[in-house]
Structure 1
Amino acid sequence: MRYSRPYSIKNFFNQTQKTSALQYVYQRTKILIQVNCILHKALPEKLRPFCTAANFRQGTLVIETANAHCLMFLRYEKSNLLTAVREKILPSLISICIRINPILATKSVKSYPDHKNFRTDISNTKVRPLSQESANTLRIVAKQSPDKLKYALERLALCTRDRGKRIYDKRPLTSMQKED
């Protein structure tokens, strides 16, 4: 009970050996935070919430991004990012690996709800009804499909020009609706 006083975490890191696993994790976390800062400064403001430095191993920096659009932009800017990170933090950096992590998109939408790339406004979308020919094709495909898919296709087939609002009806189909 003699040593039960709280200690600062900085003191704990200073007292550990340099080969300690906790010290290693702390140093890598600091490096990743610095790399994230450089990455966010180099990226356009619209892409910042959707890209993050995930790991650094064997001379390779792993960057995660939310979607393919961001991936293509990062591939285009890969050499500039490599140079910037080498100059400021990691001179031992050899390459950059870019991966898609769709979870970043959901986190980014929650963090940045006004971001326009990932937000759809239903009131502005124009609803186009199905033609009768398309509805008949969907019904033919539905006959050969499993029950769950069959139900969805039949509901979609109801969205012809004269029945455009029926798709939002969540009730099961009646025998009269199936015959249409």
Structure 2
Amino acid sequence: MKRFAILLAITTLAISCSSSDYDQPGYSPRGRPMDGGGDGGTFAANRPMAGGLDMLPPADWWHQPMIADAVKLSADQMTALDKIAQDQGNDASRIETDMTIAVRDLRTLLDSNQPSQNDIVAAGQRIRQMRDSMFDKQLQMLAAERSVLTLDQWQTLQQQLQQRRQQRNQEGYPRRGGRGMGGRGRWPGM
């Protein structure tokens, strides 16, 4: 009888430890839902969550009901924001692709038998120039989006973004930075 009670307790513990009722979407360090949503991997991947432009909202934020409902956009504003995203997204996507290739080239160079110091520095500078270009595109998009919004809408948007950041921190989302966090370690772009 005692063995049966212990076996039952162990089985119950094992079952309860192996199940979860957590129904939140998976965490993606680039700010996109893991279920394939978002903008298809273009501009959102390069929108920073912290750092130089931490006030930059996620791509297509006006299509996210929790944010858009709070900001109370008009139909004309939605159309204007869609046009901005379409116009700016192509350049950003091209820069993102070029940066991926440049990072791959730098890795290949570093893994070569006898890499030249000048070649390594030149490859790194190419990546830096692309990051500068991406920053410029992000800044242009931020300025264009801001010009569409009223001051009250802008402040509401920033409050919504701050609440999302705080909620993510409270829910135990992984923090940015540290080893293995893709692009924020020792080597630029890696």
Larger radius of gyration: 1
Higher relative contact order (CA 8 A, sep 6+): 2
Provide TM-score, normalisation by structure 2. 0.22
Q: Between Structure 1 and Structure 2, which shows a larger proportion of helix residues?
A: 2
Provide TM-score, normalisation by structure 1. 0.22
